[in-house]
């Protein structure tokens, strides 16, 4: 039985800004998220197609990432809106890098970009660690 690690509702809300790739980053597809960001969702065509692909992206993310006490959706909300302050890292228990982000604006925004690429894997690893 698969655990629900990602929210379809949040996926659709992020799809509104999906021409910037946000929903693709959320579902663990950083390469296509970056392509969507630089091409405005493949000139909006890919963005419209994604409206129908979100349920399958959600199922794939639910099977791919480890469930646990750290909530993916909350981590993504914290990264999206407070990433430069490191709040998403503090939420995961990474206090040192969280404080470092707080003092450096998310390591001068490069760290925030890195976290957009890797947040799902970071949360998955922390969930495995906490389940032991």
**For the segment 79-109, what is each residue's pLDDT rounded down to a tens digit?**
999 999 999 999 999 999 999 999 999 999 9
Positive or negative torsion for Cα 17, 94, 113, 116 = negative
Cα torsion 7, 44, 35, 49 to 10°: value is 50
Q: How far apart are CA 35 and CA 41, in angstroms?
A: 7
Q: Report the pLDDT value the prediction gives residue 78, as an integer from 0 to 100.
A: 95
User: At which residue do the structure tokens 């129908």 appear?
Assistant: 52
Quick one: which of 119, 11, 9 has its CA closest to 70? 119
- Whole-number Å distance between alpha carbons of 129 and 4: 19
Q: Does residue 2 carry a pLDDT above 70?
A: no
Task: Reply yes or no on whether the pLDDT at 121 is more than 70.
Answer: yes
With a cut of 70, say whether residue 3 has pLDDT above it.
yes
pTM of the predicted structure, to 2 decimals:
0.90
Q: Summarize pLDDT for 19-35 with one digit per residue, the tens.
A: 789 999 999 999 999 99
- Is pLDDT above 90 for 112? yes
How many CB atoms within 10 Å of residue 14? Answer: 22
Whether the Cβ atoms of residue 23 and residue 50 lie closer than 8 Å to each other: yes
Residue-averaged pLDDT of the chain: 93
Task: Report, as an integer, the average pLDDT of 97-124.
Answer: 95
Burial per residue of 29-47, b for 16 or more beta-carbon CB atoms within 10 angstroms, e otherwise: bbebbbebbeeebbeeebb
**pLDDT of 18:** 75
55: buried, middle or exposed (CB in 10 Å: 19+, 13-18, 0-12)? exposed
């Amino acid at each position: 039985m698969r655990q629900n690690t990602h929210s379809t509702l949040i996926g659709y809300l992020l799809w509104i800004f999906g021409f910037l790739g946000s929903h693709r980053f959320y579902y663990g597809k950083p390469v296509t998220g970056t392509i969507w960001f630089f091409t405005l969702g493949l000139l909006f065509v890919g963005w419209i197609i994604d409206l129908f692909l979100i349920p399958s992206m959600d199922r794939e993310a639910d099977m791919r990432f480890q469930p646990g006490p750290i909530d993916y959706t909350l981590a993504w909300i914290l990264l999206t809106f407070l990433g430069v302050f490191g709040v998403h890292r503090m939420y995961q228990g990474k206090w040192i890098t969280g404080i470092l982000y707080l003092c450096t604006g998310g390591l001068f925004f490069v760290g925030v970009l890195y976290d957009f690429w890797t947040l799902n894997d970071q949360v998955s690893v922390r969930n495995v660690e906490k389940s032991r």
